[in-house]
Amino acid sequence: MTRGTRRELLISLGLMPALSLAACQGTGDRPVDLHFWGTGTLDIGPSNWARAQREANVRIQFTDNGNDLGPVLAKMVSGTAARTFDLGGVQGGAEPEMYRAGAIVPWDLSKIPQWDGIWDWVKSVPYLKVNGAQIGIPVVVNADSIIYRKSVTGVVDSYAAVFDPKFRGRASMEDSWMNSVIFTAIFMKENNLEGLSRIRDPGDLEADELQAVMEFLKRKKRAGQFYKFWSGWEEGVDLITSGKVVVMTGWEPIVYAARNRGAADVTYAQPREGYEGWSNNLVLHAGVRDRGAGVEDAAHRFVNWQLSGEYGCILGAMRGYMVPTEGCVTDLRRGPMSFFDLTSSRTNQVRLPDAQQLDDHVRSKFLQMKGRVYWQNARPRNYALYEALWAELRTI
């Protein structure tokens, strides 16, 4: 995915005062050590994790899981990660597979009061539950679309621009089926290309739907539509700022980075077909139960703290990530908060206007802008076929 490094590009937003969780912690007790294995950009650094010790009486030992869902899943199901670590933060989609393999266990929502404050429409992310069991807690959400050079292309409001022969050789998509296939499927579904309005879920295609989408991409690649498939945000920024590419699917932080490099016309589209929504979710590892009820309870206190506001402000400031609650904005009404910013290695602040802007912007993508939001699925049912067909595309 590399979703974490993308958000590191956003300009700092600052931070907020802590929200007390005294009612659900025993501050006089010795803090519980929790081993958190997550996507690297969920990390906020030791000085900021210390806030969790004050507020939830837990001491966080964070380990980067490398972000690539394939190896993460293998280590959880076939390796020792499910018992080496207490909880994890993963790209959405693999939770049901981990649950069925016994690698994770359900959350007890009665121990997470802040669950009630999560935006209702985020709670409906399809892979967060299995047979009524809450197996994932969404800690980050956002939605992605199209980046373009407005001075060259004019206003872009459809994925059609990415495939328009007018921009042949100057278009690009990410070298990742996880993002590029869903964008193409959304475009084909919403425009009923090749009868694909029948697609139920662009993030989890049936085999015949996937074949049709991939054949479309193969035809476009053979015709020279794409300058190249980009990999990593640095290359994405370079392509759009250099002018070699004038329209591409990609991550919004690339827009901010390009503007910071002087490409003032780089713009993020509001596509009429809709956005690709995505989430990073918290999972409770099965091994936590081997360590006793105290550790499992501590994991719930920690997640409650992550949703309470303070963590969301720090994450928003450093990564541009949105924790889907109103906790950050609510707490900042009391005044700004200082924190240590890992991305700049200095103390920064977040203030209410900046946090409110991020909150409004992310929320508007899902609720107010054009089209629908279709959720990315990092582990669709036909995962092996996705991998095989994408490998074929790369050889063209």
User: What CA–CA distances, in Å, run from 237 to 159, 275, 280?
Assistant: 19, 20, 23
Same domain, 116 and 174: no
Query: Which pLDDT band, with edges at 50, 70 and 90, does 10 fall under?
Result: very low
Q: Is the pLDDT of residue 15 over 70?
A: no
DSSP string, 113-147: GGGGGS-HHHHT-GGGEETTEE--EEEEEEEEEEE
Looking at residue 91, its pLDDT comes to 86
Mean pLDDT, rounded, for 10-27: 36
Same domain, 382 and 334: no
Same domain, 128 and 151: no
Token code pair at residue 229: 């498939």
Same domain, 183 and 318: no
Same domain, 12 and 70: yes
Contact by Cβ (8 Å): 185, 202:
yes
Q: Is 331 exposed, middle or buried (0-12, 13-18, 19+ CB in 10 A)?
A: buried
User: What pLDDT, in 10s, does the model give residues 185-233?
Assistant: 999 999 999 999 999 999 999 999 999 999 999 999 999 999 999 988 7
User: What pLDDT, in 10s, does the model give residues 225-282?
Assistant: 999 999 887 899 999 999 999 999 998 878 888 998 899 999 999 999 999 999 999 9
Same domain, 209 and 355: no
Rounded to the nearest 10 degrees, what angle do helices 293-308 and 46-56 cross at? 110
Same domain, 26 and 135: yes
Percent of the chain at pLDDT > 70 equals 92
Looking at residue 9, its pLDDT comes to 38
Q: Specify the CATH number for the domain of residue 195.
A: 3.40.190.10
Mean pLDDT, rounded, for 292-314: 95
Contact by Cβ (8 Å): 138, 129:
no
Q: Residue 384 belongs to what domain range?
A: 144-276+376-395
Tokens 């506001």 map to which residue? 309
User: What pLDDT, in 10s, does the model give residues 121-171?
Assistant: 899 888 899 999 999 999 999 899 999 999 999 999 999 999 999 999 999
Rounded to the nearest 10 degrees, what angle do helices 383-395 and 177-190 cross at? 90
Proportion of the chain in helix, strand, coil states, percent, rounded to 5: 50, 20, 30
Residues linked to residue 346 through DSSP beta bridges, in sequence order: 341
Query: Which pLDDT band, with edges at 50, 70 and 90, does 372 fall under?
Result: confident
Percent of the chain at pLDDT > 90 equals 74
Provide the domain count of the chain.
2
Same domain, 250 and 381: yes
Between 22-36, 38-52, 236-250, 327-341, the lowest mean confidence (pLDDT) is in 22-36
Same domain, 10 and 111: yes
Contact by Cβ (8 Å): 178, 380:
no
**Length of the chain (residues):** 396
Same domain, 333 and 316: yes
Between CA 133 and CA 140, with CA 134 as vertex, the angle to 5 degrees is 160
Query: Which pLDDT band, with edges at 50, 70 and 90, does 319 fall under?
Result: confident
Same domain, 132 and 148: no
Contact by Cβ (8 Å): 170, 247:
yes
Query: Which pLDDT band, with edges at 50, 70 and 90, does 20 fall under?
Result: very low
Same domain, 205 and 327: no
For the entire predicted model, the pTM comes to 0.80
Looking at residue 251, its pLDDT comes to 87
- The answer for residues whose C-beta is within 8 angstroms of residue 160's C-beta and 6 or more apart is 187, 191
